[in-house]
Structure 1
């Protein structure tokens, strides 16, 4: 884990938290005696009450959680639904945070919805209002557990030893209900991803769709897991070499599109498959169309790139 004293280390393309660090310094200058406050009240703030130990948000929530971190250490996950590592990492982090009984909280930031906060998916911490880069990608679970334990220890060394109260209801008293529980088969799929068993996750989502064909969340989850399954055991170089050697191979072009999508090159993936759809004979057009539609599900139906590519596909279908 990054040395907590080197809090302004580069994030390697992740979230730019220099503004938070500056805000923290200003608060410290305004209240230099804030360090070392009693347990649960570090920084002199009110006790933290949250509906869930894991929350989602953007710039305003990031600033709020920076303030919370003077009392309780905070994990920040910058994620993307187009990134397989993000998909696999999320249930692991959520499980660890929720099992900490309020001694650790987490803010999730959608990098696609909040591009001003950073580009690449990554995980960092906030301790005492200061950012601590942790890791990128999806390390093995035991390494993540070690990092989280070290984070709590580092926070304790800095007297950040509070405990958030998880209410299960809206903390602001608006009367909004707590989030709906995750359906059992969805939870089974997420648990399988957390332990790296993508085949079990696929089976769980398939069963969910069998029981409820209109379950859109299961459909998206299955599409994301299928992408992980297809890329397993294949290297970037192998995929690109095969496509270059056999440009007429549908499967080879499918693999490159999967690779592009997993790397965030969404337009490249769609354009490749749309071009392939135009070239293949009538017998193979439906196969290519089905793969394009599946990748639409991975990215999400409201994404501008999906909307644009869907229109192009429609034009090709009726050309």
Structure 2
């Protein structure tokens, strides 16, 4: 799968779609789940407006022309529930709603588009396995969190007509995410630490703490200088772990893991322990169920034993 870096190009011109008559057989938006819904001409604009506070992922598919694209839509709907509102999945059946496909200038299906603040960016253009899709979305959401974009959508089952799609953060995490959004990294670390201390099994709090710690360690760091220092001192734990942190923020998760696995393999004593613990912290930031973490743990075990 080819994943492009997240950016914010110009918004799509949707003039007139809100009042256009629905195509024959178009979905009405009444179905779906807590964090997903079928898209038609009537709800399309409202769904895009909800991207002002949390991401929307539009998946364009055709079950009749390409069944694999329909499976991708089903998988995205499943993951929308797993991520509990970090994004809203908009399911666009191009056979039922051809006007939307025309407005978005969809070249082919399947296509998944990230929409943030009303602006679209293609994410992937092929049907991929569920695990690969989960890993890609985890990476995108980590990058957004690093940018202070931490909003959540309200579950549709409890949303009203006025607030459907509005952003809502779980109250337990709100102080930490608010601090991240305000650029107050130290406060975010303290808030996440409280949650972890209260419940060490809270994986979201652990991931948030790990990511906030990465942000803290990389504040004010010049990327080129850090890479040059690491190249000049391949066995320096501080230099190598700093570049691994920078790789994480840049979305190069596997590169970060490989760098530290290699460092563990050629280190000993305290240096090895420091490198190993840092790698475990990066695993926590990504999430233990991520296939890249599973591979990273296997590689770490090989390096240690």
Aligned partners of 1:237, 1:280: CA distance in 2, in Å?
A: 25
Aligned partners of 2:183, 2:221: CA distance in 1, in Å?
A: 16
| Counterpart selection for 1:189 from 176, 181, 185 | 176
Unaligned runs of 5+ residues in structure 2 are 58-85, 90-109, 123-142, 160-167
Q: Deviations over 1:64-123 (max 9, x none)?
A: 17751345652445599xxxxxxxxxxxxxxxxxxxxxxxxx9546xxxxx9525xx772
Q: How does 1:34-73 map to 2 (within 5 A)?
A: 42-43=19-20, 56-57=35-36, 61=37, 64=39, 67-70=42-45, 73=48
Instruction: Tell me the TM-score normalized by structure 2.
Output: 0.56
Instruction: Tell me the TM-score normalized by structure 1.
Output: 0.54
Which residue of the partner structure matches residue 157 of structure 2?
169
Which residue of the partner structure matches residue 112 of structure 2?
117
Tell me which of the two structures has the higher relative contact order, counting C-alpha pairs closer than 8 angstroms and 6 or more residues apart: 1
CA drift at 1:16: 11
Aligned partners of 1:139, 1:208: CA distance in 2, in Å?
A: 19
RMSD: 4.8
Aligned partners of 2:243, 2:147: CA distance in 1, in Å?
A: 26
Which residue of the partner structure matches residue 231 of structure 1?
218
User: Are 1:312 and 2:299 matched, yes or no?
Assistant: yes
Q: Secondary structure at the match of 1:117?
A: strand
| Counterpart selection for 1:259 from 229, 238, 246 | 246
Q: Deviations over 1:232-262 (max 9, x none)?
A: 1102112112212322210100011111111
CA drift at 1:200: 0.3
Aligned partners of 2:203, 2:146: CA distance in 1, in Å?
A: 29
Length, aligned pairs only: 218
Structure 1 residues 202, 265: closer, same or farther in 2, change over 3 A?
same
Aligned partners of 1:202, 1:48: CA distance in 2, in Å?
A: 39
Q: Secondary structure at the match of 2:299?
A: helix
Which residue of the partner structure matches residue 242 of structure 1?
229
Determine if contact 1:270/1:309 at 8 Å carries over to the other structure. yes
CA drift at 1:221: 0.8
Aligned partners of 1:217, 1:305: CA distance in 2, in Å?
A: 18
Unaligned runs of 5+ residues in structure 1 are 1-10, 29-33, 36-41, 81-105, 110-114, 145-165, 172-179
Structure 1 residues 228, 276: closer, same or farther in 2, change over 3 A?
same
Structure 1 residues 243, 225: closer, same or farther in 2, change over 3 A?
same
User: Are 1:209 and 2:193 matched, yes or no?
Assistant: no
